[in-house]
């Protein structure tokens, strides 16, 4: 579309996503059972979605367009999906806990990373949308930003510790904003592209967000 278009896709972007994206490409190549969405949603999310009171952001829309089921509370309780806040504090406040119980802060987030790595073992493509960095960048405080980054750091450590040797972990973003809370806008700062695993070399030439999807497909094509 040649421009940034908020978090909620309109008709033009929906049409592009329906035509093909990583979820649909992976589903066609490996089968829908080999594609996973890693973030769990509360029951109220699905209720609001059905009533038309909530819109899906671009990644979630892309996943659903490909036929991927967005996980709910059952998946969270079983450990096959993780909470948006990574340690599960919000779910715990609603009386919903993951396997082994709720552990607050970075230790809980690290456990969540380990659980997710185990849950997606053997899949061809698993995706986790860490959208709270964006929300805090627009509306939150410096303290909230620091707390989330600490949880994210611990979560990634858990994923890397528990991942299968054949798993390639990719961490990136479409823009910055939580790193500069002097304003509430997106920044033009460089975003990270961190890749760990046997598919690392496919990303060596990546210079923009446009290079990430082709690199993922190159990893899939590798023998």
- Domain boundaries, given as residue ranges, for the chain: 11-166
Helix (H, G, I), strand (E, B) or coil at 205: coil
Identify which of 149, 162, 152, 153 has the alpha carbon closest to the alpha carbon of residue 197.
Answer: 162
Residues 6+ apart with CB under 8 A from 197: 163, 165, 166, 167, 168, 169
C-alpha torsion 91→56→1→17, nearest 10: 110
pLDDT the model gives residue 103: 97
Q: How far apart are CA 9 and CA 127, in angstroms?
A: 18
Dihedral pair phi/psi, residue 169, rounded to 5°: -100, 125
pLDDT the model gives residue 180: 84
193-196/125-127 β-pairing: unpaired
pLDDT the model gives residue 86: 97
The HSE-up count of residue 149 (CA atoms within 13 Å, CB side) is 12
pTM (2 d.p.): 0.93
Task: Please give the average pLDDT of every successive group of 10 residues along the chain, which has 223 residues.
Answer: 78 94 97 98 95 93 97 98 97 97 98 98 96 86 92 98 97 88 85 96 95 97 84
pLDDT the model gives residue 3: 74
Q: How far apart are CA 168 and CA 194, in angstroms?
A: 10
Share of the chain above pLDDT 70, in %: 99
């Amino acid at each position: 579309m040649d421009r940034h278009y908020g978090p909620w896709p309109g008709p033009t972007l929906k049409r592009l996503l329906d035509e093909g994206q990583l979820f649909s490409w992976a589903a066609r190549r490996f089968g829908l059972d080999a594609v996973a969405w890693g973030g769990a949603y509360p029951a109220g999310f699905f209720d609001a979605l059905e009533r038309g009171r909530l819109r899906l952001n671009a990644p979630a829309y892309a996943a659903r367009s490909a036929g991927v089921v967005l996980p709910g509370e059952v998946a969270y309780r079983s450990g096959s999906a993780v909470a948006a806040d990574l340690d599960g504090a919000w779910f715990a406040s609603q009386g919903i806990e993951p396997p082994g119980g709720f552990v607050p802060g970075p230790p809980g987030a690290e456990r969540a990373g380990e659980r997710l790595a185990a849950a997606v073992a053997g899949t061809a493509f698993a995706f986790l949308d860490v959208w709270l960095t964006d929300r805090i960048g627009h509306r939150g405080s410096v303290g909230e930003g620091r707390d989330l980054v600490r949880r994210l750091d611990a979560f990634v450590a858990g994923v890397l510790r528990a991942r299968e040797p054949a798993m390639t972990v990719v961490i990136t973003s479409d823009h910055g904003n939580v790193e500069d809370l002097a304003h509430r806008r997106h920044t033009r700062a460089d975003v990270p592209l961190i890749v760990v695993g046997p598919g690392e070399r496919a990303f060596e030439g990546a210079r923009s967000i446009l290079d990430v999807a082709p690199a993922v497909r190159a990893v899939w094509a590798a023998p």
